[in-house]
Homo-oligomer: A and B are copies of this chain.
Amino acid sequence: MGVQVKRIWLMQDEPEVIPAVSTLTEKHEVVLITGGLGPTSDDLTREAISEAAGISLVFDSVLWEDLKSRYGLSKAEANRKQAMVPEGFQVLPNANGTAPGIWGTVDGCLVAALPGPPRELVPLFQDLLRPVLFEQLQLTPQVETEVSCFLIPEAMLEDACLKIGGNLDGVQWRTRFQAHRISLYLVGGSTQQREEFIDKLQQNFGEALVRRGDNEAAALLLETLKQSEAQLVSVESCTGGMIGTLVTNIPGSSEGYWGGFITYDNQAKQSAVGVSRSTLDTSGAVSEAAVLEMAEGALDRSTADVSLAVSGIAGPSGGTIEKPVGTVWIAVSRWTNQQVIHSEAFHFTFGSRRDIVRRRAAVAALLLTEIMVRKPESLDMVQHWHYS
């Protein structure tokens, strides 16, 4: 937001929070407080603010009516304290809990207090307090361009950003590590410079792995399936249901997702999707032949028209010299007027950690399927994907 954080104090619920608020408001332009807005006697944030400002706490009847209507009188009574507001302070309504946020000024210092539980705190900050801070502090909104980066090792992404950023002076970037991607946020520079930054990243890593906006791989795939009026079936061995979980985590996924088979045991690969005994004996469960049969078998056994199949060695044991831990075969198949099928071997070597191998395999399968449906002529680019 363009505000410098000078200090962060973490305290217990204790009487010392009262002088602390005075100390901090004297020396800063903004003081943000989280927590201490509960209904019990050791929740002292309201008292601390009113003491620091030399103002009294007043009963807010609108807040009180709201508490009563949402929680009933008896629960509201126990929370009566939460309807008290420092005189002259504004209320930020909390849709996810009993304690509202409040803000006002204390000797020229903007003071805001928000409830501590993250699921209450985060929306209150983002939706209600952030705009207040922008207006009251006359901040210039930083234009931030978000990019979702998949399967790209952290160090490789950072190197690429350093190289690209060196030629695009104004653009700065920060990264946020998420479970299935790295979110990259570009600030500064012109819109054109930020777009050029993204173009260069895409040239470097492939357009499928660098996507504009805040995207999950599963959401990108569901959107593509929707546009093609196609439905997916998944067959998972090493990922054990993770792909299904990621897809169904998106509300409304039932339209594009038929369901799937978790063929963990080899017997399941045979009986549930019809992998042949001879393939398992000759090539093994982690093989191109096995995933091709899994993908084909799933199309036959469902009303879906797109299938993906994953079989790999997630570790920590089970690796061999020929197929070390991190080896994952993925096949995708689509039935339109004829069947199109594609298979690819991946080697996720990053520390060979079981959870990381599984997550990368799931993301790779989702993105590979997305390309199969949206742009099958580009499937060859998958060979150049960076991952480790």
Contact = CB atoms under 8 A, between A and B. Distances in A.
- In the complex this chain forms, how many copies of it are found? 2
Given A9-B8, A244-B236, A259 B249 contact: no
Contacts of A236: 241, 244
A257 B241 CA distance: 12
A70 interface: no
Nearest to A234: B262
A248 to B, nearest CB: 3
B249 A258 contact: no
Interface string A353-364: 011001000000
Contact of A251 (B7, B9, B317): B317
Contacts of A258: 264-265, 267-268
Contacts of A315: 251
Contacts of A316: 251
Given A268-B258, A268-B259, A245 B240 contact: yes
A271 B119 contact: no
Given A241-B236, A241-B245, A257 B264 contact: yes
B264 A248 contact: yes
A272 B298 CA distance: 10
B249 A272 contact: no
Interface size class of A (residues with CB under 8 A): 35 or more
A265 B231 contact: yes
A45 interface: no
Given A241-B242, A244-B241, A264 B253 contact: yes
A327 interface: no
Interface string A250-277: 0111100111111111011001100000
Closest 9 CB pairs of A and B: A241-B244, A240-B248, A241-B241, A259-B268, A259-B264, A8-B10, A260-B262, A244-B262, A259-B262
30 contacts: A6-B14, A7-B9, A7-B16, A9-B10, A96-B351, A234-B241, A234-B262, A236-B241, A238-B248, A240-B241, A240-B257, A241-B248, A242-B244, A242-B245, A244-B244, A244-B264, A251-B315, A251-B317, A252-B317, A254-B265, A257-B265, A258-B264, A258-B267, A259-B261, A259-B268, A260-B264, A261-B262, A261-B272, A271-B303, A272-B302
